[in-house]
Amino acid sequence: MLGIELNRKSELYLWHQIYQNLKELMISGQLKAGEALPSTRELAKELDVSRNTVCEAYDLLIAEGFVISRQGASSRVSDGLCIEPLEPASSPKMKSKAVRSISVSFQTGRPDLRQFPRFLWKQLLHKAYEKLPLETFDYTGPQGLSELRVEIAAWLFRSRGLKVASDDIFITAGATHGLHLTADILCKGGQKILMEDPCHTGMLGTLINKGCSIVPIPVDDRGIQTVHLSKYEDSSAIYVTPSHQFPLGGILPASRRAVLIRFARENDLYIIEDDYDSEFRYSGLPIAPLYSMDPQRVIYVGTFSKAVFPALRIGYVILPYQLQKRWRDLRTHMDVQNPPLEQAALAEFLRTRKLDRHVKKMRKVYCRRRKVLLDALGEAFGNKWIAYGDAAGLHVAVDFPGMSFGEAFKKNCLQNGLYVTPLESHCLEKGRHQSKLLIGYGHLEPDAIKNGVVLLSDIIEKSSF
Amino acid sequence: MLGIELNRKSELYLWHQIYQNLKELMISGQLKAGEALPSTRELAKELDVSRNTVCEAYDLLIAEGFVISRQGASSRVSDGLCIEPLEPASSPKMKSKAVRSISVSFQTGRPDLRQFPRFLWKQLLHKAYEKLPLETFDYTGPQGLSELRVEIAAWLFRSRGLKVASDDIFITAGATHGLHLTADILCKGGQKILMEDPCHTGMLGTLINKGCSIVPIPVDDRGIQTVHLSKYEDSSAIYVTPSHQFPLGGILPASRRAVLIRFARENDLYIIEDDYDSEFRYSGLPIAPLYSMDPQRVIYVGTFSKAVFPALRIGYVILPYQLQKRWRDLRTHMDVQNPPLEQAALAEFLRTRKLDRHVKKMRKVYCRRRKVLLDALGEAFGNKWIAYGDAAGLHVAVDFPGMSFGEAFKKNCLQNGLYVTPLESHCLEKGRHQSKLLIGYGHLEPDAIKNGVVLLSDIIEKSSF
């Protein structure tokens, strides 16, 4: 009598249940090494199952080496199977935090998904699937779908005047992924990376996780202050957002761009240009990427997360030739390649200029919302605030001179149903931007923006920061 | 006269062409710092465009800091713009290698895509897209779609008897991606990883690229030889393929499994269990994962690349609780998350048991092909060969005692239109498996398999290895 209980309603076959029960008895030591198992006939009778069912269980136990069977003798438990039972699972259930309801979230970097042409995208997916060659269901290499790379090159030319060969474009699973792989190439041994300060904490986290040693370089309202670079000639790369500095919003002026390129050349380092949202410029004129000034020194990181949707997980890097072989090797051993379907749909989205149209539409939407936000701030705070940076993107940095916003303020806002980020939380060196807040508005309807500003003004009024 | 030439048929607006031309003149130093630009009226006349067009170009040059404009005075070139011209692009065009035509490829790890239910998959994608909530177009967190994790848990239970909570399952972009992230967790500082030898060179490459220090542990026809483990107590992890050793094909016996678990517990290291193709077992009985013996010590790496298709890029890991927080952080900063559409379609493929059906069908197909291969080998080589490993997977390791296969043999085969891998190329320590070849047959029709074996036998006969 082994005490096996079978559940005849289980999804698991009876033979599998017998097998598992016997295995557990052997591993826990209740069936000891050398002990004889009951014959298949006996056990079948005891459990009221067919003898075949028991045979299947025994066969697997023999195949896996739990049981040794010898012609004419009964099957016996193998040696050395017993292992200590586990302590009761140490995985505590997550405490269900009392979720506070947020009535307005000024989170940054969120496009408005309600405006995405969902039906059109479905048609593109459908069409793309029909046309996908069977080979694309197999491994097709680390660089990405060639049609998509050709369309990205054409799009960069017509929207930014950027001339780039599709062979130099490498599809990624988004900007973060692009930066992760770039860091693998550039700072294997924990080398220094120069980084704008303040910067995007997500991107910072990516570089820190790669073991890079981060050197903060201060930013003003026109981007990175290149005058501070000369101290760090022994670095391996510099990360910048020249088209629309995150989070302060400046456009890097031409003279600083020239300094940056010269500095990179003289000290043999690479510039990582993150162009995360510059599709959305409201003064109407697109900024030329730094990449165009030196395609051998600049690694351009682009993404479709803002222009299409975040969960698409398609971006790209434009790589100097000398890094391409290493990239291919690293990508192959990292996550192999992107899946093909969304790449093909995106290629069609670009080829038919539907992306251009969507971006144009959203530019108008975001521009109007920006105006709503600035008007509401004017109404609530009179002239006691200054909007930072240029008219672009999905957020704005707002300076309230004399104020000081930190974690306590953020928490206070959350308690009042408002999510807003003090700019200090994006700073490596603390204390230089305490009077600024980051307000993301792209995803919010005008009324939500106005309500958010009223809420913000109430909180500021009632507290003393 | 600036020598600007406009192309009226270009995709690029005229103002953009003027802007680019002027910028290039400034960067190359042909327009010098402080030099006055022609007035917008003059330049418009010279180029035969409207004055507005020139104004747009000037505005952007001013916005980007290339040009300084002062009220009432002419616009002037900024200081410090000039940078050395680039040397002619150093990116040589790839030489188009004369591609030799391969008539039979015995590559390993390739499922037969012609048998994939492509129409059904289209329907699942369609249905999944219709049902995807709008929130899933936004960032939804690093763990993966909850429906899919629930379905994977149910599938693992009904197909393998494995009890696992969907909360412990983390969706990945395939097995390589899973191993890449696991290595990030387990061997930050170049710690030792014990690895089966021979092993999958792709997975080996992933660990080497992460900076792991690899210690080879010999494998025999029953998997990793655990007797060699005791020397390496200072390791941080051990990588194994216990259900179907790659490439030798053994099933790890129960007693070795117990040694492995005890060794991991005593020395506080993790076991990485790569279960790359064990859906396809032809003796009919599924092998229980090592994971079931100790969910706190084993990281289970699974993939749908073989059962669905490689370019799907969906796999999963089952993680011990204590590693889950770190995983979430690393994934967020690596590539954020998987895209949702294929996850949702796969969940439906599992929920409706269509995957089970497809696997069952393919098991029969592959089993028949395996028999065709073994029969053909028998016909060609009599009894001068031995098939290694258990009846599973999409490849078989074949031993030709007395022979010696290396790179020269592989090249010779390629020249004769046959792709086949000497097992030695998967070995860390050379010299122990020279008489073996790896033959992948899953993706090949019976006739192709037969032709391949004939080709192989001809090559072996004509050469002296």
pLDDT tens, residue by residue, B179-189: 999 999 998 77
Distance from CA of B460 to the nearest CA of A (A): 30
Chain A residue numbers with beta carbons less than 8 Å from the beta carbon of B260 are none
So what's the pLDDT on residue A93? 53
CA separation for the pair A275, A267 (Å, rounded)? 23
Distance from CA of A403 to the nearest CA of B (A): 30
Range(s) for CATH 3.40.640.10 in chain B? 131-352
CB contact under 8 A, B177 and A312: no
- Spatial contact of A263 and A217, defined as CB atoms under 8 Å apart: no
CA separation for the pair A375, A284 (Å, rounded)? 20
Chain B residue numbers with beta carbons less than 8 Å from the beta carbon of A295 are 86, 89
Amino acid identity at B105: S
So what's the pLDDT on residue B11? 83
Buried (b) or exposed (e) across A282-303, using 16+ Cβ within 10 A? Answer: beebbbbbbbbbbbbbbbbbbb
Distance from CA of A380 to the nearest CA of B (A): 30
Evaluate if residue A97 carries a pLDDT over 60: no
CB contact under 8 A, B168 and A261: no
Report the run of H or E that residue A299 belongs to, with start and end.
strand A298-303
Evaluate if residue B90 carries a pLDDT over 70: no
Evaluate if residue A70 carries a pLDDT over 90: no
Residues shown for chain B: 465
Nearest chain A residue (CA) to B137: A311
CB contact under 8 A, B90 and A177: no
- Of the pLDDT bands very low, low, confident and very high (cuts 50, 70, 90), residue A291 is very high
Full DSSP string of B164-224? --GGGEEEESSHHHHHHHHHHHH-TT--EEEEEES--HHHHHHHHHTTPEEEEEEEETTEE
For B222-240, what is each residue's pLDDT tens digit? 999 999 999 998 999 999 9
So what's the pLDDT on residue B92? 54
Amino acid identity at B183: A
For B311, the 3-state DSSP assignment is helix
So what's the pLDDT on residue B446? 97
Full DSSP string of B149-173? HHHHHHHHHHHH-----GGGEEEES
User: Of all residues in chain B, what percent carry a pLDDT higher than 70?
Assistant: 96
| Half-sphere exposure for A59 (CA within 13 Å, toward CB) | 12
For B295-344, what is each residue's pLDDT tens digit? 999 999 999 999 999 999 999 999 999 999 999 999 999 999 999 999 99
Helices in A239-339 by DSSP H: which ranges? Answer: 254-266, 321-332
So what's the pLDDT on residue B202? 93
Task: Report the alpha-carbon angle A333-A339-A340, nearest 5.
Answer: 130
**pLDDT, mean of residues B151-167:** 92
User: Of all residues in chain B, what percent carry a pLDDT higher than 90?
Assistant: 73
Helices in B216-353 by DSSP H: which ranges? Answer: 254-266, 321-332, 340-351
Top residue of B285, B301, B319 to mutate, by most chain A CBs within 10 Å, is B285
Residue B392, both tokens: 């599973």
Evaluate if residue B94 carries a pLDDT over 70: no
So what's the pLDDT on residue A207? 93
**pLDDT, mean of residues B48-65:** 90
Amino acid identity at B275: D
Nearest chain A residue (CA) to B178: A335
- Of the pLDDT bands very low, low, confident and very high (cuts 50, 70, 90), residue B261 is very high
B104: left (phi over 0), alpha (psi -120 to 50) or beta: beta
Distance from CA of B262 to the nearest CA of A (A): 7
Amino acid identity at A41: R
Burial (Cβ within 10 Å: 0-12, 13-18, ≥19) of residue A418 = buried
- Spatial contact of A195 and A229, defined as CB atoms under 8 Å apart: no
- Of the pLDDT bands very low, low, confident and very high (cuts 50, 70, 90), residue B100 is low
Chain A residue numbers with beta carbons less than 8 Å from the beta carbon of B255 are 65, 78-81
Nearest to residue A215, comparing CAs of A223, A66, A264, A207?
Answer: A207
- Spatial contact of A63 and A78, defined as CB atoms under 8 Å apart: no
CA separation for the pair B406, B269 (Å, rounded)? 35
Range(s) for CATH 3.90.1150.10 in chain A? 104-111+359-462
Pick the CATH number of A131-352 from 3.30.70.100, 3.40.640.10, 3.20.20.140, 3.20.20.80: 3.40.640.10
- Of the pLDDT bands very low, low, confident and very high (cuts 50, 70, 90), residue B282 is confident
So what's the pLDDT on residue B83? 83
Residue A170, both tokens: 């490498």
Chain B residue numbers with beta carbons less than 8 Å from the beta carbon of A266 are none
Amino acid identity at A402: G
- Spatial contact of B405 and B399, defined as CB atoms under 8 Å apart: no
So what's the pLDDT on residue B27? 87
CB contact under 8 A, B11 and A333: no
How much is the ipTM here? 0.90
Over its C-alpha atoms, chain B yields an Rg (Å, rounded) of: 30
CB atoms within 10 A of CB A376: 20
Quote the strand ranges of A154-297, DSSP E.
Answer: 169-172, 192-197, 213-220, 223-224, 237-240, 270-275
CB contact under 8 A, A311 and B254: no
CB contact under 8 A, A313 and B83: no
A382: left (phi over 0), alpha (psi -120 to 50) or beta: left
Amino acid identity at B365: V
CA separation for the pair B139, B62 (Å, rounded)? 37
B369-372 contacts at long range (C-beta below 8 A, 24 or more positions apart): B369/B441, B369/B442, B369/B444, B369/B446, B369/B449, B370/B282, B370/B396, B370/B441, B372/B441, B372/B446, B372/B449, B372/B450
B338: left (phi over 0), alpha (psi -120 to 50) or beta: beta
Quote the mean pLDDT of chain A: 91
So what's the pLDDT on residue A268? 94
- Spatial contact of A334 and B206, defined as CB atoms under 8 Å apart: yes
Chain A residue numbers with beta carbons less than 8 Å from the beta carbon of B333 are 176, 180, 202, 205-206, 209
- Spatial contact of A407 and A401, defined as CB atoms under 8 Å apart: no
- Of the pLDDT bands very low, low, confident and very high (cuts 50, 70, 90), residue A436 is very high
What torsion, rounded to 10 degrees, do the Cα atoms A342, A345, A351, A357 define?
-90
CATH number of B104-111+359-462: 3.90.1150.10
CB atoms within 10 A of CB B235: 24
Could you tell me the sign of the dihedral formed by the alpha carbons of A160, A163, A164, A165, in that order?
A: positive
Quote the mean pLDDT of chain B: 91
**pLDDT, mean of residues B379-391:** 90
Cβ contacts of B134 within 8 Å, gap of 6 or more: A113, A114
Closest partner CB to A137 (pick from B134, B261, B309): B309
Distance from CA of A309 to the nearest CA of B (A): 6
- Of the pLDDT bands very low, low, confident and very high (cuts 50, 70, 90), residue A65 is confident
Cβ contacts of A370 within 8 Å, gap of 6 or more: A282, A391, A396, A441
Nearest to residue A94, comparing CAs of B321, B152, B326, B149?
Answer: B321
Chain A residue numbers with beta carbons less than 8 Å from the beta carbon of B296 are 86, 89-90
Residues shown for chain A: 465
CB contact under 8 A, A176 and B335: yes
Residue B389, both tokens: 């490993």
- Spatial contact of A356 and A335, defined as CB atoms under 8 Å apart: no
CB contact under 8 A, A86 and B309: no
Nearest to residue B297, comparing CAs of B325, B260, B253, B264?
Answer: B264
**pLDDT, mean of residues A419-447:** 96
So what's the pLDDT on residue B2? 79
- Spatial contact of A430 and A436, defined as CB atoms under 8 Å apart: no
So what's the pLDDT on residue A155? 94
Nearest chain A residue (CA) to B141: A311
Residue B182, both tokens: 């696991």
Chain B residue numbers with beta carbons less than 8 Å from the beta carbon of A332 are 202, 205
**pLDDT, mean of residues A264-292:** 88
- Spatial contact of A74 and A58, defined as CB atoms under 8 Å apart: no
Top residue of B131, B336, B360 to mutate, by most chain A CBs within 10 Å, is B336
Closest partner CB to A261 (pick from B83, B176, B321): B83
Nearest to residue A443, comparing CAs of A302, A305, A349?
Answer: A305
Closest partner CB to A137 (pick from B255, B257, B311): B311
Amino acid identity at A384: K
CB contact under 8 A, B334 and A184: no
CA separation for the pair B257, B265 (Å, rounded)? 12
- Spatial contact of B223 and B252, defined as CB atoms under 8 Å apart: yes
Top residue of B14, B285, B313, B335 to mutate, by most chain A CBs within 10 Å, is B335
A14-77 belongs to which CATH class?
A: mainly alpha
CB atoms within 10 A of CB B333: 24
- Spatial contact of A289 and A276, defined as CB atoms under 8 Å apart: no
Buried (b) or exposed (e) across B95-130, using 16+ Cβ within 10 A? Answer: eeeeeeeeebbbbbbbbbbeebbeeebeebbeebbe
So what's the pLDDT on residue A84? 78
Strand partners, B197: B218
CB contact under 8 A, B176 and A335: yes
For A384-395, what is each residue's pLDDT tens digit? 999 997 788 899
**pLDDT, mean of residues A158-171:** 93
So what's the pLDDT on residue B99? 56
What torsion, rounded to 10 degrees, do the Cα atoms A144, A146, A151, A152 define?
30
**pLDDT, mean of residues A238-255:** 93
CB contact under 8 A, B255 and A79: yes
Range(s) for CATH 1.10.10.10 in chain A? 14-77
